[in-house]
């Protein structure tokens, strides 16, 4: 059986492959982005591998690959886990880093990605691939954080091939490696400039292959777009083992480490850090309370308890409802989903009978964190109602209130998962949990 080599055309913008060339990419609709590439040529039981320059590189015997029985591995973990020595980091990852795993680490510019990863290497030692910074800049950061300089090896390069060659040459020397960032790495023989889809895909594939072969736990730093997504093809998130987001507002000192994908542990845990002059400090216990108790109860504020994985965290929702003089009223939601916010505005308008269609509505979650937990629905509606009435939400002056519950389209309030944990957390901080069946009962908490 003989197969001829397959010629494909790859779009340098979106990465899609096509059997024939065209002036415009059918996928992303960009012009003159399709480039010719040679694939694998198969002849009988042998494969002939070509590089992107269509040069023959090697002959692969397809019948040599054999399956590995699971029973042949050592029992237990076999020492494959590496503790980061940062408990909040280990909490998000599960038991710690896994040898040979690849972590995609992303976040807004200036949020502290490089600081956290520098502290990580300062704990256990490793290789820092500086694609964006000079070695002198990294050395300054190491000294500012008062870390052990002997634990750092810096490779200043933008070449993926140089990184792979080094890891292959010094086997078992590095436990972890940080590549900062994937958007500036380039691989020879691949069309496109640094940051293009083709370069990101090929560079990531080569780094993953090297990490698996050499047993190095690798962090790949990824930029984010203005929409908050990781820059590059979605395939990037499928290729890696773990995807971590480091988030928070730069004007606030609180930082949240969140996992959205984890092949070796929970995918819904969060780690909490506080940015200080000497670096990032772990936040635990009652320090996670983002809604400090205050005797000065004011209008437009409501407190709720959200779940960060298995950990309850108290947050404050602030709302400003003001009359609009524009043809289309403004809706601004910071920290909660935009569509969810609009839905709750509509529910509040329907249940309370208030004309929010001619009012601007602004909502914000304190601390700069992003919430996907529907358990804050009741607090959001309560904050809007309080702001509209310009009256605080009070039952008595002794305890502050906490609002927990998911709001349906009909205004019904439903209990959410981990209800008992949330209530216990609120009572531990001397707060009173408000229980109700319909959001219309909020009228009784606002006098006048």
Please give the order of strands across the beta sheet that includes 17-18.
17-18, 7-11, 34-38
Q: Place 1 in a pLDDT band, splitting at 50, 70 and 90.
A: very low
- Tell me what pLDDT residue 266 has: 86
pLDDT of residue 436: 93
Who has greater pLDDT, 270 or 74? Answer: 270
Instruction: Name the token pair of 323.
Output: 């009359």
Cβ(364)–Cβ(335) below 8 Å: yes
Instruction: Name the residue among 84, 80, 111, 61 with its Cα closest to residue 368.
Output: 111
Is residue 404 over pLDDT 90?
A: yes
342 token code pair: 């609009």
pLDDT value, residue 442: 93
pLDDT bin (cut points 50, 70, 90) of residue 43 is: very low
Give the mean pLDDT of 169-189: 91
pLDDT at 55: 54
Instruction: Check residue 81 and give its pLDDT.
Output: 87
Within 8 A by CB and 6+ apart from 69, the residues are none
Is the pLDDT confidence value at 447 over 90?
Answer: no
pLDDT at 209: 94
Give the pLDDT mean for 161-188. 92
pLDDT band of 54, cuts 50, 70, 90:
very low
Q: How far is CA 411 from CA 153, 405, 423, in A?
A: 58, 11, 22
pLDDT band at 287 (very low <50, low <70, confident <90, very high): low
pLDDT tens-place string over residues 380-401? 999 999 999 999 988 766 678 8
CATH class of the domain at 79-283: alpha beta
Residue 106 CB neighbour total at 10 angstroms: 25
Q: Which residues contact 199 (CB under 8 A, 6 or more apart)?
A: 185, 186, 187, 190, 192, 193
The per-residue pLDDT of the chain, averaged, comes to: 85
CA-nearest of 100, 74, 278 to 174 is 100
The pLDDT of residue 5 = 46
Residue 190's closest CA among 14, 52, 57? 52
Instruction: Record the tokens describing residue 169, joined without a space.
Output: 């040459």
Helices and strands counted in the chain (H then E): 9, 25
First CA to last CA distance, the chain: 86
Of 317, 331, 345, 347, the C-alpha closest to 408 is: 347
- Max Cα–Cα distance, the chain, nearest Å: 86
- In whole angstroms, what is the distance from residue 144 CA to residue 133 CA? 16
Q: Is 67 helix (H, G, I), strand (E, B) or coil?
A: coil
Most confident of 29-38, 45-54, 292-301, 355-364: 355-364
User: What per-residue confidence (pLDDT) applies to 6?
Assistant: 61
Tell me the percentage of the chain whose pLDDT exceeds 90: 51
| C-beta of residue 69 within 8 angstroms of C-beta of residue 43 | no
The pLDDT, as a whole number, for residue 59 is 55
Strand-pair category, 81-82 with 97-98: antiparallel
Whether the CB-CB separation of 259 and 308 falls below 8 Å is answered with no
Give ranges for CATH 3.40.50.300 in the chain.
79-283
Name the token pair of 82. 């590496």
The mean pLDDT of 310-339, rounded to a whole number, is: 92
Pair 206, 190: CB distance under 8 Å: no
Q: Are 154 and 135 in contact (CB under 8 A)?
A: yes
What percent of the chain is modeled with pLDDT above 70? 85
Q: Would you list the DSSP string of 108-125?
A: -TTSSHHHHHHHHHHHH-
pLDDT of residue 57: 55
Per-residue pLDDT at 314: 87
Picking from 318, 409, 322, the residue whose alpha carbon sits closest to that of residue 358 is: 322
Q: What is the pLDDT of residue 65?
A: 64
What are the backbone angles phi and psi of residue 86, rounded to the nearest 5°? Answer: -125, 105
Joined together, the tokens standing for residue 38 give 């040679």
How much is the pLDDT for 2?
44
Enter the pTM of the model: 0.75
Q: What is the mean pLDDT of residues 51-74?
A: 62
Q: d(Cα 334, Cα 362) in Å, to the nearest integer?
A: 8
Tell me where in the chain the CATH 3.30.230.10 domain(s) lie.
288-445
Instruction: Indicate if the pLDDT at residue 62 is higher than 70.
Output: no
pLDDT number for residue 362:
97
Compare 7 and 347 and report the one with higher pLDDT. 347
Q: Distance between CA atoms of 407 and 355, rounded to whole angstroms? A: 19
Domain 288-445, classified CATH 1.10.3720.10, yes or no:
no
Are 96 and 86 in contact by the 8 Å Cβ rule? The answer is: no
160 vs 218: CA distance, rounded Å: 13
Residue 311: which pLDDT band, with cuts at 50, 70 and 90? confident
């Amino acid at each position: 059986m003989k197969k001829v080599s397959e010629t494909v055309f790859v779009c340098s913008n979106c990465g899609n492959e096509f059997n024939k060339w065209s002036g415009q990419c059918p996928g992303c609709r960009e012009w003159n982005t399709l480039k010719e590439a040679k694939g694998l040529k198969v002849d009988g039981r042998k494969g002939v591998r070509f590089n992107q320059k269509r040069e023959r590189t090697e002959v692969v015997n397809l019948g040599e690959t054999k399956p590995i029985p699971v029973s042949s591995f050592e029992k237990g973990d076999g020492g494959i886990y590496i503790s980061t020595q940062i408990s909040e980091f280990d909490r998000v990852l599960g038991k710690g880093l896994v040898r040979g795993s690849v972590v995609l680490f992303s976040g807004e510019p200036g949020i502290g990605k490089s600081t956290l990863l520098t502290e990580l290497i300062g704990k256990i030692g490793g290789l820092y691939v500086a694609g964006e910074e000079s070695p002198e800049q990294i050395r300054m950061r190491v000294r500012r954080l008062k870390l052990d300089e002997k634990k750092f090896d810096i490779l200043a390069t933008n070449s993926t091939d140089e990184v792979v060659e080094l890891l292959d040459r010094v086997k078992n020397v590095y436990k972890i490696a940080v590549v900062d960032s994937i958007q500036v790495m380039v691989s020879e023989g691949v069309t496109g400039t640094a940051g293009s889809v083709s370069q990101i895909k090929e560079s990531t594939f080569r780094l993953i292959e090297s990490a698996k072969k050499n047993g190095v736990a690798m962090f790949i730093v990824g930029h984010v777009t203005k929409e908050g997504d990781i820059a590059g093809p979605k395939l990037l998130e499928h290729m890696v083992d773990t995807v971590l987001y480091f988030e928070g507002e730069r004007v606030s000192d609180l930082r949240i480490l969140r996992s959205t994908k984890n092949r070796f542990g929970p995918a819904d845990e969060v780690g909490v850090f506080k940015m200080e002059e000497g670096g990032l400090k772990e936040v635990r216990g009652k320090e996670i309370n983002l809604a400090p108790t205050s005797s000065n109860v004011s209008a437009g504020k409501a407190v709720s308890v959200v779940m960060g994985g298995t950990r309850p965290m108290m947050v404050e929702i602030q709302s400003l409802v003001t009359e609009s003089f524009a043809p289309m009223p403004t809706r601004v939601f910071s920290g909660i989903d935009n569509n969810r916010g609009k839905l709750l505005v509509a529910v509040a308008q329907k249940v309370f009978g208030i004309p929010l269609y001619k009012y601007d509505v602004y909502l914000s979650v304190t601390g700069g964190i992003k919430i996907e937990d529907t358990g804050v629905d009741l607090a959001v509606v309560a904050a809007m109602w309080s702001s509209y009435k310009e009256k605080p939400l009070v039952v008595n002056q002794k305890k502050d209130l906490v609002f927990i519950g998911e709001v349906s389209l009909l205004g019904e309030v439903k209990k959410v998962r981990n209800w008992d944990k949330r209530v216990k957390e609120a009572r531990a901080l001397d707060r009173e949990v408000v229980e109700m069946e319909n959001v219309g009962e909020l009228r009784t908490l606002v006098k006048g």
